[in-house]
A = this chain, B = another copy of it.
Amino acid sequence: MRYIPITQADKEAMLRDIGVSSTEELFAANIPANVRLQRPLDLPAPLTEMEILAHMSELTAGNINLAEYTSFLGAGAYDHYIPAAVDTFLKRGEFLTAYTPYQPEISQGVLQVIYEYQSMVCELTGMDLSNASMYDGASALAEAAGMVVSQTGRKKIIVARSAHPNYRRVVKTYMHGIGVEVIEAPLDHCELDLNKLEALITEEIGGVLVQMPNFFGHLEQVRQIEKLIHAKGGLFVIAADPVSLALLEAPGNYGADIVVAEGQGLGVAPSYGGPYLGIMATREKFSRKIPGRIVGATLDNRGQRAFVLTLQAREQHIRREKATSNICSNQALIALAATVYLTLVGKEGLREVANLSLQKAHYAASEISKLPGYQMACKSPFFKEFTIRTPKPANEINKALLANKILGGFDTAVEYPELGHAMTIAVTEKRTKAEIDRLVAALGEVK
């Protein structure tokens, strides 16, 4: 009865008004006896609030957490600094406990935040329009693949093997549903092999999906790839790291047709993998193809600027089976976090974050490379993450690092056995030189 505010007296009065003597009558009138559950639910007895918190603290106290351990683990979820003001707004009841702004007159807060979010995404990606958010990076990429197919009518797409293994899995899962073949473009070390890619791209290929920087943290030759795919009439989809876009060219400026990204790095707690933020932006010409909610500016009947959900003819509640996607609830609160984050760090701050991450990652790479047995796995440029060959299996090294209160890099052994012993190390602006030196020393001591 924890959150049920109806007293026994109220209940009786209400039953009287309804004209029944018990709630059982209401259920009996609806649920046929043959499907009624005849026993209580077999669940543990209710706890009070105090017990809930005590239980959950105890349950998770043993988890290693990023406040106590120094993390060099990235691979799609990053330990960027989250300004204190972000959480203030996630907790404002008016944002937290609202739903999709169906009634714009009492939802201008959420609507304007989304409009601002869309604007920031466009700025970062160099695209014309953004939707209000997708579930996460992987599903955004899969939806982009769906857009490619629907736009080109072609039933084959190419995805870079250097894209996040989980993103590739999600793309394949989605594409399998609509009978689209997903071809994996092979690698040369940890970069796409452009010759092989060129050979794969035919006029049957709807598009190429490339992660930039790629899963290994390194850059792809996106300008060349763009030419290859556009030459055959396909679309070019980029999965970006939004933080990287402070330093790296906007995909809109090298010809991307759709840009997706995982927004977690923009002020969102790692939270064991979710809730995160699927960013999706595209060119104006695809505005009727993009999935999800979109907010637009308009006027009210008093002549004031105001915001409203728009272009809804793409959406499931209007178009049903002809919709561009089935997405309904999205990740609005996480888009709020990203909007507050980008507002707080602003134009210069995001560049600082990106540059510091790059500087520190390069320092780490150069120091680790000096250790015997460690050697960069790829020669291509990198941003805040890099992949390095290790003298022993990475998971063994990581065990030793854990003992030093360090969460080591991503062990590539399972996903990329072709690299041999290797790990992908992420370094954000939060890591100090002292922490990096501690990592290097700990690596040096692994026996």
Contacts and interface: CB of A to CB of B under 8 A. Distances in A.
Q: Report, as a range, how many residues of chain A touch the other chain.
A: 10 to 19
A84 interface: yes
Interface in A28-62: 49-50, 53, 57
Given A57-B67, A67-B57, A50 B91 contact: no
Contacts of A84: 49, 53
Interface string A50-94: 100100010000000001000000000000010110001001110
Given A57-B67, A67-B57, A50 B81 contact: yes
Contacts of A67: 57
A362 interface: no
A430 B57 contact: no
A57 B83 CA distance: 15
Contacts of A81: 49-50
B93 A91 contact: no
Interface in A418-447: 429-430
A83 B50 CA distance: 8
Contacts of A50: 81, 429-430
A379 to B, nearest CB: 32
A93 B83 contact: no
Interface of A: 49-50, 53, 57, 67, 81, 83-84, 88, 91-93, 429-430
Enumerate the 7 nearest inter-chain pairs by beta-carbon distance, A residue then B residue, closest first.
Answer: A50-B81, A49-B83, A88-B91, A91-B91, A50-B430, A49-B84, A57-B67
